[in-house]
Amino acid sequence: MEDAVIMAKQAADAIRQAVGDGFEVCVILGSGLGGLAERLADKQELSYSQIPHFPRSTVESHAGKLLAGTLEGKRVLFLSGRFHFYEGYTFAQTAFPVRVMKMLGVPRLIVTNAAGGVNETFSPGDLMCISDHIKFFSDSPSRGNPMPEFGPRFFDLSHAYSPRLRELARRCADELSIPLKEGVYAFMPGPQFETPAEIRMLRLLGADAVGMSTVAEVIAANQCGIEVLGISCISNMAAGVLPQPVTDEEVVEVAGRVAQTFQALIAAIIRRM
């Protein structure tokens, strides 16, 4: 068995021992969005450092802990803190928690993130349901020896973001009167924000938002048959859209400002999932 498979199994065993299993959905909480965890009933926490082989989160706005509990009557797992390519991790390392979810039998994944608005009709604070992504030609979590435990070597991404869950998100947003955009998320490796020329290029290619996370997790989830929903918080307009620099402070501040709306939407989606 490949080391990565053994490591994912050991991590899943440790989580199962600490917080049990039977989880219906896992939510990866992006920058500034960790507050959703406060809504959990019967909350149990596990620091990433207590889970074998889990990478360490080196980003301040990412807590680095797993939370288990009940939300809207469903058993859920939150990953508060994720791993990024710009921290020096490979795509396989950034997707490791998703493969651990597979070993735990978690059938659905909600990925959240803060992203820059490329679509000029967007505004900071908007929420965007991810319809598809663009990743160019960098790494893949699935590169290397085939590992059947994580799914087939070649696999389809025609519906990487579940049409069923996107429709559900749309209905929940309508019912809560939350405006929800929809669009294509472009991955850029960071950690520098993009240049205005790069953002113009992404816009030409059909991107609506840009960010430095998410796609490795989504690719790995699709490979192993986990159903995915992705929601971006547009935390800033991407470089060159406005006559001001893009800053990390703005990203975290805006994500914090829409946190309540964001949490209400995710909770409604989980209730109806």
Residues that bind ligand HPA (CB under 6 A): 114-116, 188, 193-194, 210-212, 235-236, 238, 246, 251
- Report CA dihedral (165, 18, 60, 95) to the nearest 10 degrees: -50
Residue nearest to ligand HPA (CB): 116
Question: Which is nearer to ligand HPA, 165 or 210 (by Cβ)?
Answer: 210
Nearer CB in complex with ligand HPA: 222/235: 235
In the complex, the smallest distance separating the C-beta of residue 273 from ligand HPA, rounded to whole angstroms, is: 26
User: 3-class SS at 86?
Assistant: helix
CB of 42 to ligand HPA, least distance (A): 33
Residue 12 in tokens: 């899943």
Least separation, in Å, of the C-beta of 64 and ligand HPA?
19
What are the Cα distances from residue 34, in Å, to 58, 82, 233, 253? Answer: 15, 11, 13, 13
Rounded to the nearest whole angstrom, what is the least distance from the CB of residue 236 to ligand HPA in the complex? 5
57 burial via Cβ count (<10 Å: 0-12, 13-18, 19+): buried
Residues with Cβ within 8 Å of 159's Cβ and at least 6 positions away in sequence, in order, are: none
Q: Which two tokens stand for residue 186?
A: 């472009």
- Judged by beta carbon, residue 68 or residue 212, the one nearer ligand HPA is 212
* Least Cβ distance, residue 154 to ligand HPA (angstroms): 29
- Closest to ligand HPA by CB, 27 or 251: 251
Nearer to ligand HPA, 76 or 128 (CB): 128
**Structure tokens belonging to residue 85:** 């390519």
Q: Which is nearer to ligand HPA, 147 or 241 (CB)?
A: 241
**Residue 93 CA from chain centroid, whole number:** 14
* Residues shown for the chain: 273
Tokens of 225: 């048959």
Cis-peptide, bond into residue 191, ω within 30° of zero: yes
By beta-carbon proximity to ligand HPA, the closer residue of 162 and 236 is 236
Instruction: Report, in Å, the least distance between residue 92 CB and ligand HPA.
Output: 21
CA dihedral 19, 261, 163, 139 (to 10 degrees): -70
Shortest distance (Å) from residue 248 CB to ligand HPA: 8
Q: Which two tokens stand for residue 222?
A: 């699709």
Query: SS3 helix, strand, coil % of the chain, rounded to 5?
Result: 35, 25, 40
